[in-house]
Amino acid sequence: MPVAFLRNLYAQWFPPAAKFTEKEVPSQQGRVFIVTGGNSGVGFELCKILYGTGATIYMASRSKEKAEAAIQAIVEELQSSATPGQLKFLQFDLNDLESVKKSAEAFSQQESKLDVLWNNAGSGANLVEVGAKTNQGFEAMVGMHCIAPLLFTELLRPKLQAAVASGSPGSTRVIWASSFLAEGAAPTNGIEFDKLENGTKDRTRNYAVSKAGNWFLGREYAERRGGDGIVSVVQNPGNLNSGSYGGTPKLQMMFVNPFLHDIKLGAYTGLFAGLSPDITQEHNGAYVIPWGRIRPDENSHRKDIIKALTASENGGLGYSKKFWDWCEEQWKPFCQSTSI
């Protein structure tokens, strides 16, 4: 393996202690957040931290029962918090674009702005059968991790723009969940466009492609919406002992377990991406690594992916724009009545 790749792996698998935790977060009263997939895993831990800041947090989840149980658990644990926030359930299913549309509409009817959107929800590679499709017939990994979150984010753009108008520069953000596997298991250039429709028989590869796709969308969002004052941040939450490894064979997990970290540390990565003052408008499109560090040197990433991320007019492949356009074309037939 190239030395640069091994250094990159070490930096993300064995990070230093988090420096931006709940102790560093000031009151967020008056601010409104959405955390998709907030009823479990990293999303749950992030919602728990955010609740203690006094913010209004929408826990976007497929299961109302599980979300309400998660909300109750957080409220009971933090009932003595000095500045308790509000936790609200928001029906949301990445497998179904109709649910995504209704979720954005339901939020918009309740709130005048959205300060930070964490596109956190998703599924581990081994929890999805080979050949699985979403309700609209998209390959499951790209459908859930890329097409649906992009639609959700675009539908909520007016609310993000409203937050920009009333917030401090750089504080309105959209967070995209990537993974080290975007570099460790994705094909050359991160995405094979001719295989997006049906994926491959390799579930890990399909997952890695979707996480490279999130990286591309996060960069492209910075290009397209940065002028609105919205900051787009891509994050690798970290190598965590979470549901993303569900369905992985026990023998394989014997080798993986020693390298897994507590889920709450992954929430610190997301907390940094969403709220740290170290991220400004000048960092639009930044890639955040565990447990809350801006990746400063793109030479440490895979060179083929960096070339794919780079606009064609700057000597790159322009895959960020190409993938955004591809995702948009997939959901447009199902959203003809939606004005964006």
β-strand partners of 34: 58, 117
According to the model, what pLDDT value does residue 340 have? Answer: 42
According to the model, what pLDDT value does residue 339 have? Answer: 47
- Whether residue 316 is contained in a domain is answered as yes
- Choose the catalytic residue: 51, 101, 159, 207: 207
β-strand partners of 294: 288
According to the model, what pLDDT value does residue 127 have? Answer: 85
- Choose the catalytic residue: 48, 113, 211, 264: 211
According to the model, what pLDDT value does residue 252 have? Answer: 64
Please tell me the distance from the alpha carbon of residue 283 to that of residue 332, in angstroms, as a whole number. 30
- Report the alpha-carbon angle 102-236-39, nearest 5: 40
Handedness of CA 99, 105, 106, 107 (dihedral sign): positive
Half-sphere exposure of 314 (CA within 13 A, CB side): 10
Helical segments of the chain, H only: 3-13, 41-51, 64-77, 97-110, 140-142, 148-155, 157-166, 181-184, 203-225, 250-256, 263-275, 303-309, 319-331
According to the model, what pLDDT value does residue 125 have? Answer: 86
According to the model, what pLDDT value does residue 244 have? Answer: 61
- Whether residue 267 is contained in a domain is answered as yes
- Whether residue 339 is contained in a domain is answered as no
Amino acid at 155: L
Containing H/E element for 61? strand 56-61
The boundaries of the domain holding residue 212 are 3-332
Please tell me the distance from the alpha carbon of residue 99 to that of residue 144, in angstroms, as a whole number. 12
- Whether residue 30 is contained in a domain is answered as yes
pTM beyond 0.85: yes
- Whether residue 338 is contained in a domain is answered as no
- Tens place of pLDDT for every residue, the chain, 340 residues? 566 667 777 788 889 999 999 999 999 999 999 999 999 999 999 999 999 999 999 999 999 999 999 999 999 998 877 788 999 999 999 999 999 999 999 999 999 999 999 999 999 888 889 999 999 999 999 999 999 999 999 999 999 999 999 999 999 999 999 999 999 999 999 999 999 999 999 999 999 999 999 999 999 999 999 999 999 999 999 988 776 665 566 666 565 666 688 999 999 999 999 999 999 999 999 999 999 999 876 677 789 999 999 999 999 999 999 999 999 999 998 876 554 4
Closest Cα partner for 271 from 47, 92, 57, 90? Answer: 47
Closest Cα partner for 64 from 33, 104, 92, 97? Answer: 92
Collapsing DSSP states into helix, strand and coil, what is residue 60? Answer: strand
The CATH number of residue 170's host domain is 3.40.50.720
- Whether residue 337 is contained in a domain is answered as no
- Whether residue 300 is contained in a domain is answered as yes
Looking at the structure of the chain, the number of domains it has is 1
| Distance in Å from the first CA to the final CA of the chain | 45
The yes-or-no answer on residue 207 being catalytic is: yes
Residue 103 and residue 92 in contact, taking contact as beta carbons nearer than 8 Å: yes
Residue 135 and residue 98 in contact, taking contact as beta carbons nearer than 8 Å: yes
DSSP string for 247-310: T--HHHHHHHGGG-B-HHHHHHHHHHHHH-TT--GGGTTEEEETTTEE---GGGS-HHHHHHHS
The yes-or-no answer on residue 66 being catalytic is: no
According to the model, what pLDDT value does residue 9 have? Answer: 74
- Whether residue 166 is contained in a domain is answered as yes
Residue 186 and residue 208 in contact, taking contact as beta carbons nearer than 8 Å: yes
